[in-house]
A and B are shown apart, each in its own frame.
Chain A
Amino acid sequence: MTGSVLYEAPGPRARRRARHASVVTALLLLGALGWVIHRFAAEGELAYEKWGALIDPTNENFGPLWTLLGGGLANTLLAAGWAILLSLVIGTVLALTRITAAAWYRWAVVGVIELLRGTPVVVLIFFSAQALPALGLNVSLMWALVIGLTAYNCVIIAEIVRAGITALPLGQSEAAYAVGMRRHRVLLHVLLPQAFRAMLPALISQLVVVLKDTSLGVTISYAEFVQRGEIAIENLDNQIQVYLALGVVFILINYTLSRIAVHTERILSRGRSAAREPESAAATGD
């Protein structure tokens, strides 16, 4: 059901009224925006000294600033890439373990999944940065971040994979057993490939979550995008402008990824009357 079903196709009078109401709300929204801009201008937040380094290529600080931020963004993408890759591998293994586990140890697998899922990711990141060295494992800050992110996301991916497998029609595994395949071959050669295909959109959406959570590297001072932004702020004293720029870059990247996820979903559902889509964790702001 789309929004347009909620109201009649308007007649001439309703159209006129809607046009008037639209103009009024648009003016109100623009007025609010204007007031915000006015306040920013009054506080000197629109001054060239605050913005020049961010948007003016001829500014002396433009090059160094964006080299600094670009390096941070590269570190962010690197950590996010490792985290999603490791989460995918470990998550798949966890899901298969949970599905094939004998009853006497399945509770342990479920327990690990529930424990990691119920703990905030920032706690897991802090934990891996502080506790691993305390336990005698010296890892670099990036790997501490990657391990924390992986610990949190692998169980989410495990649940996505499990949902993908259980959503497949029963006939798939029955047919595979009927032609004489063993259980591991049924899982690896028949069920997993189909599950991955159905899960692709959910997995891409999870990438958005991982990318956003990588910014928590700032709490352990890993040199990622936000932490580099803070260094820039120390030198340029333009908090609002830098955080705005960081936000815009994050939104551009993540919005593109979300569009790709939606597009993939559309392509995948074109061929078949898609099996029930596993719910994406990205929809909860995890």
Chain B
Amino acid sequence: MQVLIANHGAYLSGIATTLWLCLYSGVLTLVVGTVIAGFRVSPLTPLRAFGTAWVTVFRNCPLVVVLFFMAFALPVLGLNASYFVFGTVGLALYTSAFVCEAIRSGINSVPAGQAEAARSIGLGFTQTLGLVILPQAVRSIIPPLGSVLIAMIKNSAIAGAFGVGGDLYMTGTRLSSAQGEAVVPVLIGVALGYLIITIPAGLLLGYVERKVAIAR
């Protein structure tokens, strides 16, 4: 346990980096996921096809492969960035497929009569979706969306393994392999670091879930 106390600075900055990574990724993934979900329910066939392809690709491809591919392919397209940016964007794109599906299943959980009623009083597609369906869908979207974001926090360790320096996971591997600290306590520290984030997040999610739950 001395390892944890002696290196608490490294652990804390690791947790901070992980949280920053997740914050940027989280915002980006919510935006992209919502847009793709809009594509998937849109009346335009090319957009629907694009949305479906997006979800199929990112849901079925391992995050490691997505990250590696991006790190090599994006510079070809003229986008050079640091590993932190690649990690953040890769994690966000990967998660966006799951965000999209959470939102879409939320939209599908709103009874069809709501959309029919909105249409019959003359609202268009954007109005039906924005004013009637989405406000109701939010309640059933929150629980699965929360699970997706918690999974994203855990997946950020993969972005760390891939080369985003200084996050919690890399702090652990650096302490054990480079500085030769005993591996068991170091890794227990890493696991604890993630648990400090994920368990309260899970409890918060459970609380919000109970608050917004509706019987349908």
Contacts and interface: CB of A to CB of B under 8 A. Distances in A.
Contact of B57 (A1, A120, A240, A251): A251
A120 B129 contact: no
A104 interface: no
Contacts of A244: 69
A215 B44 contact: no
B46 A29 contact: yes
A18 B44 contact: yes
A130 interface: yes
Nearest to B173: A126
Interface residues of A, number: 58
B110 interface: yes
Contacts of A285: 59, 94-95, 97-98, 148, 151-152, 155
A55 interface: no
A107 interface: no
A216 B159 CA distance: 11
Interface of B is mostly: helix
Nearest to A213: B62
Contacts of A246: 65
A219 B195 CA distance: 21
Contacts of B183: 130-131, 134
Given A131-B184, A250-B65, A286-B154, A25 B60 contact: no
Contact of B128 (A7, A43, A120, A258): A7
Nearest to B161: A219
B38 to A, nearest CB: 10
A165 interface: no
A16 B128 CA distance: 21
Contacts, number: 179
B133 interface: yes
A216 B98 contact: no
B61 interface: yes
Interface in B11-58: 40-48, 50, 56-57
B157 A120 contact: yes
Contacts of B50: 29
A166 interface: no
Contacts of B97: 285
A254 B97 CA distance: 15
A6 B128 contact: yes
Contact of A119 (B72, B133, B154): B154
A284 B144 contact: yes
B102 interface: yes
A122 interface: yes
A127 B112 CA distance: 49
Contact of A215 (B65, B98, B119, B194): B65
Contact of B76 (A7, A40, A213): A40
A202 to B, nearest CB: 14
B85 interface: no
B44 A39 contact: no
- Max chain B Cβ within 10 angstroms of own Cβ: one of A119, A120, A244, A255: A120
A279 B144 contact: yes
B138 to A, nearest CB: 15
A118 to B, nearest CB: 4
Of A8, A250, A255, A284, most buried by chain B (CB within 10 Å of CB) is A284
B125 interface: yes
A141 to B, nearest CB: 16
28 contacts: A1-B107, A3-B42, A18-B43, A21-B44, A25-B47, A118-B195, A120-B156, A120-B169, A123-B157, A126-B169, A127-B187, A127-B191, A130-B183, A130-B187, A131-B187, A212-B63, A240-B72, A243-B68, A247-B61, A251-B57, A254-B60, A258-B59, A279-B144, A284-B150, A285-B95, A285-B148, A285-B155, A286-B154
In the A-B complex, the 6 residue pairs with the smallest Cβ-Cβ separation, listed nearest first, are A254-B60, A120-B157, A215-B62, A118-B198, A3-B41, A120-B154
Interface of A: 1-3, 5-8, 10, 18, 21-22, 25-26, 29, 36, 39-40, 43, 45, 114-115, 118-123, 126-127, 130-131, 134-135, 208, 212-213, 215-216, 218-219, 226, 239-240, 243-244, 246-247, 250-251, 253-255, 258, 279, 283-286
